[in-house]
Structure 1
Amino acid sequence: MLKRTISLAAAGAALVVAAVAGCGTNVQPIQVNLAASEVLAQAAQKTAQVTSYTVDAVVNATHSQQGDGRVQGRMLYQSKPELAVDLTLDTVDMGERSLPGGVRAVLLGDTVYVKVEALKDLLGATKPWIKVPLAEMGDSAQVNQYLTQIQQFDLANVTKLVTASQDVKSAGNESVNGEDTTHYSGTFPVDAAVQQLPADKQEQARTNLAELKDVKFDIWVAADGLPRKLALSGQKEGATLDATLFFKGFNEPVTIEAPPADQVGDLPKGTTN
């Protein structure tokens, strides 16, 4: 039961990750809007230098067999001096399954701290947090997949995917959270988008991108060349995905800490298989 609960929490995070990683479509090449493409290229260069940020995300999904899903949450991200993530999912509903009270996960080094209210009922736990060394989360493939999913929150990689668009165009000036931005809209071919990523990220990205087709993106870029909002929508064989993400706090100090030791319990043996 514990593994299934943690898996549901991870699945909710993965749904957000899949949205952040982006989705593509097999569109036919058309004449490129050079001005808009240049803006995206410059944005990719700038986001590659960003070492911390905050993202607020809302993801809605429907599936003819699995039902409707919704994930809503917020994440603090830091890439230096080491990868650290503080993810809070206030809403995790996937089909007929949900996590009352949401989920909180903190990744520091090789350890994940998980806080899920449902665990108290399942285990009779008195401590709100469970410490999960990545090496004990299952076989190496599962651990690598989890790490890859976390790393796909990388804003630089998201922007690189968008630069593969062959039909991006300006859609006017708009305000996002009080900041002036320029709205760009388009689609991008999956194969070309994946090739923009580092070699070690391409396989996982290609897997995620294959989940949907006919996906459209909208991105709002501020005067500093960094994105403030990203929206994705797509569908495939009755399944749909709509995701909206807001970015802020670029390169601002981020505090990501482990929960107090007296509030943390270890993952019971026999729950990782």
Structure 2
Amino acid sequence: MAASEVLAQAAQKTAEVTSYTVDAVVNVTHPQEGSGKVQGRMLYQSKPQLAVDLTLDTVDMGGKNLPGGVRAVLQGDTVYVKVEALKELMGATKPWIKVSLSEAGDSSQVNQYLSQIQQFDLANMTKLITASQDVKSVGNESVNGEDTTHYSGTFPVDVAVQQLPADKQEQARANLAELKDIKFDLWAGSDGLPRKLALNGSKEGATLDATLFFKGFNEAVKIDAPPADQVGELPKGTTN
């Protein structure tokens, strides 16, 4: 099968996956804001309802890190966020803050974690690389003990972002830091699903270097909302 067909098939298959786990490291540099690093893992399920459990152990942006990291749990149209630093900053009284997705867009703090979820999203990331015109197979390699085929290529960001649903495009552009072309490497298992994905890009002092490992496809995951007595509302007046 041609490498480009493998990508198309991977995008189709990942869209049908109902659950997975991803471990990710994302390093970025920005000409004005300096360098940053995000490292963490995410559990994902699409059925019986959309649910995501995101743990970010390292969140370091422009030399400022978030002690204690971040937890975000998304269930249906509600997101629960636990950030020690945010708690103090916003005067929250409970460890978790609950926000409905319709309101989350008004809160820059909550929004940045939702954007992280999108960055770790298997279907989104695989769709982006289908825009590649130069992908080729570069051999067979083992990833976490599994045999995979390694594909390598580049994709233009503006074309790639258009592969996504309309409501995801703006956030994807922001995540990709207005980069022009991105080099990617994809390691696909015999089932056509990605086991590892690496993205590298740079433009005028901005760089992106992301590595994602995927496992546990269609295996049962347990994603629970935090206990009700641990959850408070987003304090009013903190939505900017």
What TM-score do the two structures reach when normalised by structure 2? Answer: 0.87
Alpha-carbon deviation of 1:149?
6.6
Alpha-carbon deviation of 1:89?
0.4
Hey, what's the Cα distance between the residues in 2 that align with 1:196 and 1:269?
A: 37
- Deviation by residue 1:70-119 (Cα, 9 ceiling, x = unmatched): 00010111122222111100000001321001010111122211111224
One-letter code aligned to 2:237: G
Q: Structure 1 segments of 4 or more deviating over 6 A? A: 140-149
Is residue 68 from structure 1 mapped to residue 35 from structure 2 by the alignment?
A: yes
Alpha-carbon deviation of 1:264?
1.6
Structure whose CA Rg is larger: 1
Gaps of 5+ in 1: 1-33
One-letter code aligned to 1:245: L
Gaps of 5+ in 2: none
Is residue 242 from structure 1 mapped to residue 214 from structure 2 by the alignment?
A: no
Is residue 58 from structure 1 mapped to residue 20 from structure 2 by the alignment?
A: no
Q: Matches of residues 60-209 of structure 1 in structure 2 within 5 Å?
A: 60-122=27-89, 127-137=94-104, 139=106, 150-151=117-118, 153-206=120-173, 208-209=175-176
Indicate the SS of the match to 2:226: coil
Deviating more after overlay: 165-174 vs 58-67: 58-67
Aligned to 2:197: 230
One-letter code aligned to 2:68: G
Q: State the identity %.
A: 85
Deviating more after overlay: 124-133 vs 241-250: 124-133
Alpha-carbon deviation of 1:136?
3.9
- Deviation by residue 1:124-159 (Cα, 9 ceiling, x = unmatched): 655321222334446499999986774564422322
CA contact (8 A) 2:43 2:52 kept: yes
Higher relative contact order (CA 8 A, sep 6+): 1
Call closer, same or farther: CA 1:186–1:48 in 2, change over 3 Å: same
Call closer, same or farther: CA 1:135–1:262 in 2, change over 3 Å: same
Hey, what's the Cα distance between the residues in 2 that align with 1:138 and 1:151?
A: 14
* Higher relative strand content: 2
Alpha-carbon deviation of 1:199?
4.5
Hey, what's the Cα distance between the residues in 2 that align with 1:124 and 1:142?
A: 14
What TM-score do the two structures reach when normalised by structure 1? Answer: 0.77
Indicate the SS of the match to 1:48: helix
Call closer, same or farther: CA 1:255–1:230 in 2, change over 3 Å: same
- Count of aligned positions: 240
One-letter code aligned to 2:3: A
Alpha-carbon deviation of 1:268?
1.9
Call closer, same or farther: CA 1:216–1:123 in 2, change over 3 Å: closer
